[in-house]
Structures are given as C-alpha cells and as structure tokens.
Amino acid sequence: MKFIIGDIDYNKKIIYLYLNGRKTAFYMTNKVAKTFMVYLKKGILVDFEVSARHKKFGQVKAQQILFFNKIVQLNPHKVFYDINLLRGDIKKIFKKNKNYLFMDFEMTMPPYYSDFFVAEIIQAGYLVSKPYEDPIVTESVYIEAKHQKILSKRTVKFLKIDQESYDAHKIPFVEFYERLKNIMTTYKPKIIVWGTNDIKALDEMYQLHHLKPITKRTDFIDLLKVHKNYFNVLNDIGLFKAYETYYQKEAMQTHDALDDAKVTKLVFDAFLMEINQSR
C-alpha cells in the first residue's frame, strides 16, 4: 500500500495513515523500526506490505508492517529507500566482476575451562571460479594456530579432526597468506562469504601475525546481506537453508571449510540465476 504519513508515534513505532478519511495505525517491529524509522516523519510517502497481525497499544489497534518497498520525501523530492533501485544496483555489482573467490574458515574453539582464549583460523577452504563454471582453483588447508598448539576437545569434536592429522598437514599462516596474495594478484576476484564472521576473522589474523592486510572490506561481498537486501528479509538466513530453498534438497553440513565454500558457490550461482531471470 502507498500513502502519505499523516502522523507518527516514535516511542510506540507507529505510523498513522488516513484511509478513506479514517486515521489508521500501522506498527513496526523493533527490527523494521531500527532500519527505517530514521527516514519516517509526517508527510513522507511510504509504500509497504502488511501482515494479518494486529496489536493493541492502549486504545489504538495497529496492523503490523512487514517491510517497506519505498520511502520518498516529496518536498524537496528525495528517495530514501526504493527496493527496485536497490535490486538494480545489486545486479550491476555482479555484472562488473568476472572472477570470484568463495572462501570459508573454521576456527579454534575454547577449552571447556580456560581464562585465556584467542580464536584463530585453523582451516581455510576456498575456490576461484567464474559464475556457473567449474573452479579454476580449489584448495583446503589446515593452518597452524599460534596459541592453541594442542587443539581443544571442543575444536576436535566440532570439526571432526584429530590432532595427528592436523599436525601432519598444517601450514604456517604466513604460507596461507602468500597463497591468498597470489590469488588476489592473479585473478583479482571479489571474495564471496556468507556473513561477516570470516571477514573479521581474517582481519584479526593479520593483526595476530603482524602482517600487512592483503584484503580490504571492499574486496568482499557478504552474500547473506545481499540476500537480505534483495529479498527484503530482516532475519538472518542460514547458508544451508538458502541452499535447500534454491535446490529443494537437503545439504549435509560437515563443518568443513571447503565444503562450506562449495555450498556458498552453489547458492551464489542460484542467486544470480534468480535475479537475472527477474525484471
């Protein structure tokens, strides 16, 4: 529905519209309000979708706003938010880039009893590919932890690895650093991750090992955030839930970095196909 805001209650997160001459209330959840309230005031044009749910605020009965499609200031004219423009911008981003690095990390986990713990990357799985094509580079490596030389029982149980195998195959972080540097130089890819945890983990490893960062935030595309923005979804979506939605079959979650990177690519390819088929 598309109307001009007649009044607003910022404390209760309610906007009022005049529908057929009647003042009608619509409320926002905390998540919706956190994202959009900053743009809302009397006289703003809004286009939004509602649920069937109603809620009482004292004597006021309000219907729930699910999400906004468009928020526009009329005088002077300014578009604060437009889902169609946002979707167009997302399509442009993916048309610009040719090579993508799909990457996932597994981390050390704290011992059951410990006063000191620093989470470190101990496995990296990654592949370089163009959309819809087979990988040019595929690799999975164990990375030597600086602090947790003996893996905690939690780490071993969660990742299903043993100390002997880890010790036999691990490489120093600086070696992984050089491999990543070579990939960034050779292929100049955008790095696709699901969520921001892996971005933060890599930044922390640079600091831990006193190495100059070879990636910056603009090198990354958070595919989770892209999904939330494109489909106007406020709640987080799990990677494997996204896979199941696209492919209509269950994926086995192994807590293996390379397996997760491969699933990320499959979700990426399905997402590109979805947005390229839509107008």
Please tell me the least confidently modeled range out of 72-76, 131-135, 146-150. Answer: 146-150
Q: How confident is the model at residue 78 (pLDDT cuts 50, 70, 90)?
A: very high
Task: For 65-86, give the DSSP string.
Answer: EEEEEEEEEETTEEEEEEHHHH
Whether the bond between 189 and the residue before it is cis, its omega within 30 degrees of 0, is no
Residue 165 has pLDDT above 80, yes or no: yes
The single-letter DSSP state of residue 131 is T
Residue 121 has pLDDT above 80, yes or no: yes
In the numeric block, the tokens 């991750």 are attached to 193
Q: One-letter amino acid identity for 10?
A: Y
Residue 212 has pLDDT above 90, yes or no: yes
Domains with residue ranges and CATH for the chain: 2-83 (2.40.50), 97-277 (3.30.420.10)
Q: One-letter amino acid identity for 112?
A: Y
Indicate the pTM of the whole model: 0.90
Q: What is the pLDDT of residue 3?
A: 94
* Tokens standing for residue 258: 């390379």
**Percentage of residues of the chain with pLDDT beyond 90:** 87
Q: What is the pLDDT of residue 46?
A: 98
Our CA angle for 95, 137, 192, nearest 5°, is 45
Q: What is the mean pLDDT of residues 67-83?
A: 96
Q: How confident is the model at residue 116 (pLDDT cuts 50, 70, 90)?
A: confident
Q: What is the mean pLDDT of residues 134-153?
A: 95
What whole-number distance in Å separates Cα of residue 122 and Cα of residue 126? 13
Mean model confidence pLDDT for the chain: 95
The values of phi and psi at residue 114, to 5°, are -160, 140
The values of phi and psi at residue 160, to 5°, are 55, 45
Residue 114 has pLDDT above 90, yes or no: no
Q: What is the pLDDT of residue 76?
A: 94
Q: One-letter amino acid identity for 216?
A: K
What whole-number distance in Å separates Cα of residue 251 and Cα of residue 264? 12
Q: How confident is the model at residue 278 (pLDDT cuts 50, 70, 90)?
A: confident
Q: What is the pLDDT of residue 279?
A: 62
44 against 95, higher pLDDT: 44
What whole-number distance in Å separates Cα of residue 136 and Cα of residue 133? 9
Q: What is the pLDDT of residue 1?
A: 73
Q: How far apart are the first and last CA of the chain?
A: 21
pLDDT in tens, 213-264: 999 999 999 999 999 999 999 889 999 999 999 999 988 888 899 999 999 9
Our CA angle for 271, 97, 185, nearest 5°, is 125
Write the CA distances from 239 to 1, 124, 144, 250, integer angstroms: 32, 17, 27, 12
